[in-house]
């Protein structure tokens, strides 16, 4: 099956075409946030779908059935996608709007800082992001032909992949956190202690959870539940978009999978770049590079 060879370049960032157009990208930068909005921000492959599920469960804790039949991309749509307006029109107007973006901070900060919208930044060990992204390129027909793992490894480190540099993405968002109503959560926090991570998140969202509600959310956001559910695992997406014969969107769902892919030389190179890019960061991130 052919690849969808359309890429949109916007403000120096490459993104898959069709789902993004110059019009939808401009509209996203002009989006008027409401104080009740919740914006999930991720670099691709950082656990976006996982967090979309968790956010929609938290905000529908009294009746999960309401969202069961709706795919995560429609419950928590991307600001920059062409179908945003359709999704907004179908949202329950009595609830906060849940939104997603892969955009860098510079494209949204202007409008975001004028609101009290809550920003949830979900980060993941970039070594695992790289491996997950590599596999996703094989599956997703809207991404460029991936070539070898070695080639992709270098492109990722140089920021020459869709949505640009992982390093710039996280540094720029962490750099503006004081100006925003901001919460940092990581894939590693959620993997290691999901109970505590979800409790902290729901407190930030002003949505404290009863013990039973928390238990339900833990069940419905587990990898075993999500990977079997068609509204959550992208298995219903058309074969022109995802080549399901090549692999699954819900691939492994673990931390540290990079160890099965990085050569010792690649690991040393990655660590050098990481140190150069992230060495000055004072905030402690919970992943291990060893
Ligand atoms: S995307 O395309 O940017 O929206 O992808 P994203 O959802 O950010 O990332 C996909 C990876 O997240 C894993 N995933 C999960 N891990 C643990 N638990 C749950 N519930 C879960 N849901 C999704 C998914 O398997 C991808 O990671 P890899 O490492 O490829 O398995």
| Nearest to 68, CA basis, from 193, 214, 226, 184 | 226
Place of tokens 């996280």: 170
Give residue 1's pLDDT: 55
CB hemisphere CA count around 111 (13 angstroms): 14
Q: 3-class DSSP state for residue 200?
A: helix
DSSP assignment of 13-73: EEEEBTTB-HHHHHHHHT----TT-EEEEE-TTSSHHHHHHHHHHHTTTT-THHHHTS-HH
Which tokens belong to 39?
């914006």
Q: Catalytic: which of 102, 135, 137, 169?
A: 102
DSSP state of 140: B
Beta bridge partners of 186: 123
Gap from CA of 240 to ligand 1 centroid (Å): 21
The closest residue, in CA terms, to atom 27 on ligand 1 is 253
Across the chain, which has 290 residues, the per-10-residue mean pLDDT values are 80 93 97 98 98 97 88 96 96 95 98 96 98 94 90 97 97 97 98 98 97 96 95 88 89 97 98 96 92
> Which domains are assigned to the chain?
7-278 (3.40.50.300)
Active site residue 102: yes
Query: Ligand 1: which atom is nearest the Cα of residue 223?
Result: 20
DSSP state of 78: B
Distance CA 280, CA 290 (A): 19
Give residue 85's pLDDT: 96
Give residue 220's pLDDT: 95
DSSP state of 141: T
Residues with CB under 6 A from ligand 1: 42, 44-50, 128, 132, 135-136, 221-223, 226, 250-253, 257
Contact 217, 58 (CB under 8 A): yes
To test the pocket of ligand 1, the residue of 231, 253, 254 to mutate (highest count of ligand atoms within 8 Å of its CB) is 253
Beta bridge partners of 13: 10
Give residue 115's pLDDT: 94
Gap from CA of 265 to ligand 1 centroid (Å): 26
Which tokens belong to 25?
């990208």
């Amino acid at each position: 099956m052919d690849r969808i060879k359309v890429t949109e370049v916007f403000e120096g960032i490459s993104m898959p075409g069709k789902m993004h157009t110059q019009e939808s990208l401009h509209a996203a930068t002009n989006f008027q946030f409401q104080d009740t909005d919740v914006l999930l921000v991720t670099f691709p492959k950082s656990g976006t779908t996982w967090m979309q599920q968790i956010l929609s469960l938290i905000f529908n804790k009294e009746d999960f059935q309401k969202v069961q039949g709706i795919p995560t991309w429609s419950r928590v749509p991307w600001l920059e996608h062409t179908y945003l307006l359709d999704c907004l029109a179908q949202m329950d107007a009595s609830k906060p709007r849940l939104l997603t973006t892969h955009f860098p901070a510079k494209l949204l900060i202007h409008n975001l800082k004028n609101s009290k919208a809550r920003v949830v930044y979900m980060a993941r060990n970039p070594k695992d992001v790289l491996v997950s992204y590599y596999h996703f390129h094989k599956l997703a027909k809207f991404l460029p032909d991936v070539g070898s793992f070695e080639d992709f490894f270098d492109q990722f480190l140089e920021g020459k992949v869709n949505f640009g540099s992982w390093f710039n993405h996280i540094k720029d968002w962490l750099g503006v956190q004081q100006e925003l109503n901001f919460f940092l959560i990581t894939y590693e926090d959620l993997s290691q202690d999901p109970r505590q991570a979800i409790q902290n998140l729901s407190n930030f969202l002003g949505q404290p959870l009863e013990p039973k509600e928390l238990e339900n959310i833990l069940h419905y956001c587990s990898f075993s539940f999500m990977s079997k559910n068609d509204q959550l695992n992208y298995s219903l997406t058309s074969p022109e978009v995802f080549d399901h014969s090549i692999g699954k969107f819900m691939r492994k769902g673990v931390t540290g999978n990079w160890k099965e892919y990085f050569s010792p030389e690649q690991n040393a190179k990655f660590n050098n770049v990481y140190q150069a890019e992230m060495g000055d960061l004072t905030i402690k991130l919970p992943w291990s590079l060893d």
